[in-house]
Amino acid sequence: MDLLDNTIRPYAWGSPTAIPKLLGVEPSGEPQAEMWMGAHPGAPSRTARGTLVEVIDKDPKGELGEAAVAKFGPRLPFLLKILAAGAPLSLQVHPDLEQAREGYEDEERRGIPVGAPHRNYKDANHKPELICALTEFDGLCGFRAPQESAGLLDGLGVNSLKPYVDVLRAHPEDAALREVLTAILSADREEMAHTVAEATAACIRLGGDYAPYADLAHHYPGDPGVIAAMLLNHVRLQPGEALFLGAGIPHAYLNGLGVEIMANSDNVLRCGLTPKHVDVPELLRVVRLEAGDAGVLRPEAAPDGEEVYETPIDEFRLSRYVLPEGAAAHDLTLPTAQILLCTAGTVHVGEYDLAPGRSVFVPADEEAEVSGAGTVFRATVVV
C-alpha cells in the first residue's frame, strides 16, 4: 500500500484553520479549502511510486481490480476530499450522466474551449457526491415545499418579493419553483441587488431562521442567489451525519469541516452566490424541480463494525470504522482499490501509523488490516 501525499487547494471560501487543526500543524494564514485524495488529473495524490495517476496507468487491473476496470474503465472513479468551508460555496446543481454527455458533446461541437469561463461541461461524466460532517456542518440541500418558501419570503416584508410569494402559494409545485427560480435569476441585476439589500436588512433584524441568509448576503452582497437560497432546505449536520447530493439537487455548503466523496467530474451548473457564469436555461434543464426533505443520512452498522453510508451510486462507497482502545483488528482486504483516511486518534494500517488527515491507497487484493484507537474512513467502489 502507498502512503499518500495530498494537495490542499487554497480556494477563497476555505477555512484558514480547520484543516491545519485536523492535521495538527500551524495555520499559514491562507484559506485551506480542500485536501484531495485520489487520481484526479488536476491534483493527483503523490506516492513513493509516483503520482497515483502514474501508478494506476502502469497496471490498472493490478491496482484497481479486474471487476472495477471492467465496470468503470482503467481509472479510479472517485475523488475523496477533506472539505473545510469557512464561507459559503456557490449554489449549484450537477447533471446526470446522460445530461453530462449531451452537454459535453454539444459544447465540444460548438468549439467552446474547456477552460472558457462560460463553459458548463468540463467532461462527459456525472458528479454525484456525499458530504459527511466531522464538525457541525451547515448546508442547503433540495427545495423546500413552496408554501414554506412563501412563508419565509413573506416574513421579510419586502414588497418586491410579493409576486414570488403569490406564485409559490398559487401554482403547482414544479411550475411554482420553475417560475420563481427563473424570475430570480433572470431579473435586472440592479433591481435585484436592491431587493437583496432590503431582504438582508430584514434577515439581520429578524435573526433566527433568517440568520443563514444574512450570512450569505454578507459574503455575496446583492447576489440573486441570496433569494434563491430561501427556496432550499437549510440543514445543520452533526458529526457523523451526511448528505447525498444526486443529479439535479440544488445545494450549497455554508460552513464546517467534512469528508466528501464524489465521482470524478468537474461539471457544475451554478445558481448563484458566485461571480462565475450562471447559465439559466441550462440550469433549468438540469435542476430537479421537486420539493422534499434534505435527506440526512446516518451510517448503517454492519456486523464487523463497519458503518456504511448507503447511496445509489456505484462509483463510490463511503464507510467508517470507529475503533475503541483495545479493539480487535479488522481485515479490510478487498478485490477493489480503496483509500483509507484517519480523521481521529491513531490508526494502524499495514506498516503505517495514521494520524488525523493522513491516508493510504490500498491496491486491489492487497492485505489491509486496521487497528488502533480512532476513526478511519474507507472509500472504494461497488462492483
92 is in an annotated binding site: yes
Kindly report the length of the chain: 383
Grid cell at residue 317 = 462507497
Amino acid type, 227 = I
Which residues fall within 8 angstroms of residue 300, CB to CB, at 6 or more apart?
307, 308, 309, 310
30 is in an annotated binding site: no
Say how far apart CA 376 and CA 353 lie, in whole Å.
Answer: 12
The answer to whether residue 109 is catalytic is no
* Residue 132: closest CA among 373, 348, 344, 305: 344
Grid cell at residue 343 = 480523521
Say how far apart CA 33 and CA 130 lie, in whole Å.
Answer: 16
118 is in an annotated binding site: no
Query: Within 13 Å, how many C-alpha atoms sit on residue 259's CB side?
Result: 29
Whether the Cβ atoms of residue 261 and residue 316 lie closer than 8 Å to each other: yes
Which position among 46, 75, 144, 270 bears the catalytic label? 270
Cell 461539471 -> residue? 267
* Residue 187: closest CA among 215, 226, 155: 226
Amino acid type, 106 = D
251 is in an annotated binding site: yes
The residues with which 167 forms a beta bridge, in sequence order, are none
Residue 186 CB coordination number (10 Å): 12
Grid cell at residue 16 = 484558514
Phi, psi torsion values for 283, nearest 5 degrees: -60, -45
Residue 263 sits at the vertex; the CA angle it makes with 303 and 104, to the nearest 5 degrees, is: 155
Say how far apart CA 271 and CA 283 lie, in whole Å.
Answer: 7
Could you list the residues known to form a binding site for Zn(2+), using ranges.
Answer: 92, 94, 129, 251
Catalytic positions are 270
Could you list the residues known to form a binding site, using ranges.
Answer: 92, 94, 129, 251
